[in-house]
Amino acid sequence: MNPPNSGFQWGTSARSVDQAVYDEGLRRHMLRVYNYMALGLVLTGAVAFIVGTTPALYVPIFSTPLKWVVMLAPLAFVLFFSFRMQSMSASGAQTMFWAFCGVMGLSMASIFLVFTGTSIARTFFIAATMFGATSLYGYTTKRDLSQFGSFLIMGLIGVVIASLVNIFLGSTMLQFIVSVVGILVFVGLTAWDTQSIKEQYADNFDQESQQKLAVFGAFSLYLNFINIFQLLLNLTGERE
């Protein structure tokens, strides 16, 4: 005869199995997100390096009004992504993501004309460390970070507006303030976005939905990392 509490034990065992399956699915999902992001950064870095170190490529771009198109193109991609993400297919989202990473690399090629290679490499590793630590916190913390969402979005809007204004003002002090505040904002967004990506995952999603979710998650984290890197470079980079 089974003991009186055997039903409870079987129920607990079933829940444990379900949790294990969910955790494994979540682990694969987050790995897919980070892989997309990492490959996007590789693509961006390769395009930026090739263009930024090849006079035949960067002279026609950055010595003509075409530079404004190149600088503002990533913003157009971000807006398009934001408004169309729900209606995109998984393959369409991936195509847009890779195209965006390539355009961002073209836009960032100018850093190789302004900063030394050593300071670019050093800043990249500092940014990677900051991003990794913050994303890990967002993934593991039990604290609900959604309460900071509105504040971070307001800070982001302020940083974007101030950055656009400073393109025409060229104020060193404003650039310093934007860089410091911007780093804090994007570090916070990294933790918030990581927790959001984790919470949005559901193991009953179909393959198409999971793929789209991974691409959009990678897109969010990619933007945070790129902005942390650029703002840090503005603060600590050694100029040529």
What pLDDT, on the 0 to 100 scale, is given for residue 10? 45
* pLDDT tens digits for range 223-235: 999 999 999 998 8
Q: Can you spell out the DSSP letters for the chain? A: ---TTHHHHHHHHHHHHHHHHHHHHHHHHHHHHHHHHHHHHHHHHHHHHHHHT-HHHHHHHHTSTHHHHHHHHHHHHHHHHHHHTTT--HHHHHHHHHHHHHHHHHHHTTHHHHB-HHHHHHHHHHHHHHHHHHHHHHHH--S-GGGGHHHHHHHHHHHHHHHHHHHHH--HHHHHHHHHHHHHHHHHHHHHHHHHHHHH--TTS-HHHHHHHHHHHHHHHHHHHHHHHHHHHHHHPPB-
pLDDT at 17 over 70: no
* pLDDT tens digits for range 125-171: 999 999 999 999 999 988 888 888 778 888 888 888 888 787 777 77
- Whole-number average pLDDT of the chain: 83
* pLDDT tens digits for range 77-127: 778 777 777 778 888 888 889 999 999 999 898 888 889 888 999 999 999
What pLDDT, on the 0 to 100 scale, is given for residue 49? 92
